[in-house]
Amino acid sequence: MPELKTVALFIVTALAEILGCYLPYLWLREGKPVWLLLPAALSLALFAWLLTLHPTAAGRVYAAYGGVYICMAIIWLWSVDGVKPTGWDILGSAVALLGMAIIMFAPRPV
């Protein structure tokens, strides 16, 4: 079960980062209100804090998190941007998730 908890934490972390970057994008590119920068900053602070909750070395967490981020970004592309992922998008996400699983869940010497 710790694997499921790790993946769930990565998913929440990715959503916080994506939201924290998407809101300034809306302001800069779509002409949305500047006040969106406040929840964006809070979301990015939450993202940084969530990364500290993993009980392994920071570099390993950052490397593995990247795989989940890629997958979540493709899901965002589809659900928020309304762009259907290609087969290549899905394959790339699967490869990234495999890399995350290898980095996070491989046996390690004690």
Structure tokens at 1: 């079960």
Higher-confidence residue of 45 and 64: namely 45
The answer to whether the beta carbons of residues 19 and 33 sit under 8 Å apart is no
Q: At 7, is the secondary structure helix, strand, or coil?
A: helix
Percent of the chain, pLDDT > 70? Answer: 99
Over 90: is that where the pLDDT of 83 sits? yes
pLDDT tens-digit readout, 5-14: 888 999 999 9
What is the structure's pLDDT at 35?
98
Rounded to two decimals, what is the model's pTM?
0.85
pLDDT tens-digit readout, 22-61: 999 999 999 999 999 999 999 999 999 998 898 788 888 8
**Per-residue DSSP letters for 13-69?**
HHHHHHHHHHHHHHHHHH---GGGHHHHHHHHHHHHHHHTTSSS-HHHHHHHHHHHH
